Structure 1
Amino acid sequence: MIQLHPQAFASTGAMGVIGALLEQRTGQQIAANRAWRVETALKPVLRANDLDTLDQLIGRLAADRNGPLAEAVVDALLNHETSFFRDAAVLDLVVEAAQALQAEAPGRRLRIWSAGCSMGQEPYSLAMLFEEAALSRGMLMPEIIATDVSAAALARARAGRFSQFEIQRGLPVRRMVSWFDSVDGEWIVRPELARRIVFRQQNLAKDPPPAGKFDLVLCRNVLLYFAAEVRTRVFRTLRDATREGGLLVLGAGETVIGQTDAFRPSDQFRGLYLAGDARVAPFRTCAG
Structure 2
Amino acid sequence: MNVPLRPPPLGSAANKIVTLLEQRTGQHLDAGRAWRIDSALQPMLRERGLTSLDELVARMTAGGRAEQGLADLVVDALLNQETSFFRDAGVLDLVVAAAADMAGASPRRLRIWSAACSTGQEPLSLAMLFSEAQERSGLPFPEIRATDISARALKRARAGRYTQFEIQRGLSIRRMMRWFEVREDQWEAKAELRYRLLFAQQNLMSDAMPGGRFDIVLCRNVLMYLSPAARSHVLDRIAGVLRPGGLLMLGAGETVIGHTEALVPSERYRGLYRLAAH
TMscore range, shorter length: over 0.9
Q: Tell me what 1:22 maps to.
A: 21
Whole-angstrom distance in 2 between the partners of 1:243 and 1:171? 31
1:252 aligns with 2:271: no
Contact 2:249–2:272, Cα closer than 8 Å, also in 1: yes
User: What letter is aligned with 1:42?
Assistant: L
**Pairing of 1:20-59 with structure 2 (within 5 A):** 20-59=19-58
> How far has the Cα of 1:68 moved from its partner?
2.4
Q: Tell me what 1:189 maps to.
A: 189
> How far has the Cα of 1:128 moved from its partner?
0.2
> How far has the Cα of 1:199 moved from its partner?
0.4
User: What letter is aligned with 2:19?
Assistant: A
User: What letter is aligned with 1:194?
Assistant: R
> How far has the Cα of 1:55 moved from its partner?
1.1
**Pairing of 1:204-243 with structure 2 (within 5 A):** 204-243=204-243
> How far has the Cα of 1:33 moved from its partner?
3.4
1:82 aligns with 2:83: yes
**Shift >4 Å, 4+ stretches:** none
Whole-angstrom distance in 2 between the partners of 1:253 and 1:191? 34
Q: Indicate the percent of aligned positions where both proteins have the same amino acid.
A: 55
> How far has the Cα of 1:16 moved from its partner?
1.1
> How far has the Cα of 1:62 moved from its partner?
1.7
1:124 aligns with 2:121: no
User: What letter is aligned with 2:174?
Assistant: R
Q: Tell me what 1:281 maps to.
A: none
Q: Tell me what 2:175 maps to.
A: 175
Whole-angstrom distance in 1 between the partners of 2:139 and 2:172? 22
1:58 is paired with a residue whose SS is helix
Contact 2:161–2:188, Cα closer than 8 Å, also in 1: yes
Q: Tell me what 1:68 maps to.
A: 69
Whole-angstrom distance in 1 between the partners of 2:6 and 2:123? 35
Whole-angstrom distance in 2 between the partners of 1:2 and 1:139? 53
**Pairing of 1:115-154 with structure 2 (within 5 A):** 115-154=115-154
User: What letter is aligned with 1:259?
Assistant: H
Contact 1:265–1:273, Cα closer than 8 Å, also in 2: yes
Whole-angstrom distance in 2 between the partners of 1:3 and 1:231? 25
Q: Which moved more, 1:92-101 or 1:64-73?
A: 64-73
Whole-angstrom distance in 1 between the partners of 2:149 and 2:46? 24
Contact 1:64–1:70, Cα closer than 8 Å, also in 2: no
Contact 1:21–1:74, Cα closer than 8 Å, also in 2: yes
> How far has the Cα of 1:3 moved from its partner?
5.3
Q: Tell me what 1:284 maps to.
A: none
**Pairing of 1:262-277 with structure 2 (within 5 A):** 262-277=262-277
| Number of residue pairs matched by the alignment | 272
Contact 2:261–2:276, Cα closer than 8 Å, also in 1: no
Whole-angstrom distance in 1 between the partners of 2:6 and 2:173? 41
Whole-angstrom distance in 2 between the partners of 1:12 and 1:53? 11
Please report the RMSD computed on the Cα atoms of aligned residues, expressed in angstroms. 1.5
Q: Which moved more, 1:149-158 or 1:60-69?
A: 60-69
User: What letter is aligned with 2:41?
Assistant: L
State the TM-score, normalizing by the size of structure 2. Answer: 0.94
Q: Which moved more, 1:128-137 or 1:21-30?
A: 21-30
User: What letter is aligned with 2:115?
Assistant: A
Q: Which moved more, 1:18-27 or 1:88-97?
A: 18-27
2:13 is paired with a residue whose SS is helix
User: What letter is aligned with 1:207?
Assistant: D
> How far has the Cα of 1:276 moved from its partner?
4.0
Whole-angstrom distance in 2 between the partners of 1:42 and 1:196? 35
Whole-angstrom distance in 1 between the partners of 2:208 and 2:6? 36
Q: Tell me what 2:112 maps to.
A: 112
Contact 2:50–2:56, Cα closer than 8 Å, also in 1: yes
1:202 aligns with 2:202: yes
Whole-angstrom distance in 2 between the partners of 1:189 and 1:124? 8
1:162-200 CA-partner distances (Å, limit 9, x unpaired): 111111111111111111110111011111000111000
1:182 is paired with a residue whose SS is strand
Q: Tell me what 1:160 maps to.
A: 160
Q: Tell me what 2:101 maps to.
A: 100
